Amino acid sequence: MGRLVMKFGGTSVADIERIRNVARHVKREVDAGHEVAVVVSAMAGTTNRLVEWCREASPMHDAREYDAVVASGEQVTAGLLAIALQALGINARSWQGWQLPIKTSDVHGSARILDVNGEELVRRFRERKEVAVVAGFQGIHAETGRITTLGRGGSDTSAVAVAAAIQADRCDIYTDVDGVYTTDPRVVPRARRLDKISFEEMLEMASLGAKVMQVRSIELGMVHQVRMFVRSSFDKPEDIDPHSTPPGTLICDEAEIMEQQVVTGIAFSKDEAQISIRHVQDKPGVAASIFGPLAEANINVDMIVQVVSADGATTDLTFTVPAADYDRAKETIAKARERIGYGGLDSATDVAKISVIGIGMRSHAGVAASAFKALAERGINIRAITTSEIKFSLLIDAAFTELAVRTLHSLYGLDK
């Protein structure tokens, strides 16, 4: 017997029929003798509609009231699933974030989970064999008692936090794909599903563009060592043997992964913009005068490339920002022009960042060099490069995204 968290995303609970399907997935695990806490998202499309209503009511709305509105989507699914479970003869009870409670910071709209009390859930597993159905995405700020939400995609993070609190053996993430792939299968049809991926690699994949799970959920899983299993919710519950391993991807500690590839996956993002500042004074304090104002404006700078100047007087500096912050970033730099002192600004939004990820890179040399060669052979120009211990990222023209991803996918032996 084990203890499980089962998390279902919006498409998996999109209508009553699918909620009944979810209930049968839960029943299968309960019948196999497991203690189960389910975490649910809002029905597909619901959160978007609620967000839109807030904007319509007033574009400059109070973030506390935004949370009061958007948290309601998960309240509905938690109740509906509890009803569907009861209809199958299963003892089930729904829980809102404030009822457990799931305590969070007071950053309304993207609050961080501080503490989850799982005691009552565990007591009810023991005493009543009761399934807990927890509303994802929401919590409560303890001091003010106000409802908070965790940012879009936040019910993944709720699930991992609940799993840590009740010391679950595993957190199953049921979604509309059957696992984590070496890259997006829509771009590379020969992409393979990974059996296992380490927390660190998954964190990079998610941060760098793979949209499987909320980034914070993986950070939290890594800190608390919560093993997560990404699997499809569309398989028929009756076809799954609860005692065997179904198709899916386990996100776990690297120690659990025996056969380590050098490269595990390739992520990409087209939501990037490049800004180059020309003829910047090459003297101490210049980088601070550029990136200080950007930080104050809450703009996340990603890649930074500075050229070593030939004459010791001026240099060029290139960096990337999220495409959504592009205009603001340019304005911010222009405003600080006097303080920075530069010749001109070049920028581009038709760029993409391709990232190659693998913990095997720690112990293998030349991994990036072979990518440069393969891309050069296809006439793909690299605008900027950054590296870290387990990944490197390349900025290229967006038009070459698919070609670059496919080229690197075969180069590193990831094609199936």
Question: Binding residues for Mg ion, per CB under 5 A?
Answer: 9, 153
| DSSP-derived secondary structure letter, 193 | B
One symbol per residue from 120 to 139: x for binding ligand ASP (CB under 6 A), - otherwise; what is it?
Answer: ----------------xx--
Residue 42 interface partner, choices Mg ion, ligand ASP, none, CB cut-off 5-8 Å depending on type: ligand ASP
Nearer to Mg ion, 150 or 263 (CB): 150
Pick the piece of the chain touching ligand ASP (CB under 6 A) from 15-23, 126-134, 151-159, 333-341: 151-159
Pick the piece of the chain touching ligand ASP (CB under 6 A) from 127-135, 153-161, 237-245, 261-269: 153-161
Cα-Cα-Cα-Cα torsion 143, 144, 147, 150, nearest 10 degrees, comes to -50
**Based on C-alpha coordinates, what's the Rg of the chain?**
24
Nearer to ligand ASP, 139 or 154 (CB): 154
Report the alpha-carbon distance of residue 313 to residue 300 in Å, rounded. Answer: 28
Report the alpha-carbon distance of residue 65 to residue 58 in Å, rounded. Answer: 11
97 lies in the binding site for ligand ASP (CB under 6 A): no
Alpha-carbon dihedral sign for residues 298, 148, 41, 195: positive
Number of residues that bind ligand ASP (CB under 6 A): 13
The verdict on whether omega for the bond into residue 101 sits within 30 degrees of 0, i.e. cis, is yes
268 lies in the binding site for ligand ASP (CB under 6 A): no
Pick the piece of the chain touching ligand ASP (CB under 6 A) from 57-65, 117-125, 150-158, 236-244: 150-158
**The binder of ligand ASP chosen from 152, 278, 328, 330 (CB under 6 A):** 152
Pick the piece of the chain touching ligand ASP (CB under 6 A) from 152-160, 233-241, 262-270, 370-378: 152-160
How near is the Cβ of 69 to Mg ion at its closest, in Å? 19
If phi > 0 it is left, if psi is from -120 to 50 it is alpha, else beta; for residue 105 that is: beta
Report the alpha-carbon distance of residue 194 to residue 336 in Å, rounded. Answer: 47
Of 4-43, binders to ligand ASP (CB under 6 A) are 9-10, 41-42
Nearer to Mg ion, 153 or 358 (CB): 153
* Pairing status of strand 304-306 against strand 249-252: unpaired
Strand-pairing partners, residue 196, are: 250
Alpha-carbon dihedral sign for residues 335, 339, 345, 351: negative
Nearer to ligand ASP, 10 or 139 (CB): 10
Report the alpha-carbon distance of residue 37 to residue 117 in Å, rounded. Answer: 13
Contact, 134 vs 74, CB < 8 A?
A: no
Residue 154 interface partner, choices ligand ASP, Mg ion, none, CB cut-off 5-8 Å depending on type: ligand ASP
How near is the Cβ of 231 to Mg ion at its closest, in Å? 14
Q: Take residue 92 and report the two structure tokens written for it.
A: 């089930």
What is the contact surface with ligand ASP in residues (CB under 6 A)?
Answer: 9-10, 41-42, 47, 73, 136-137, 152-156
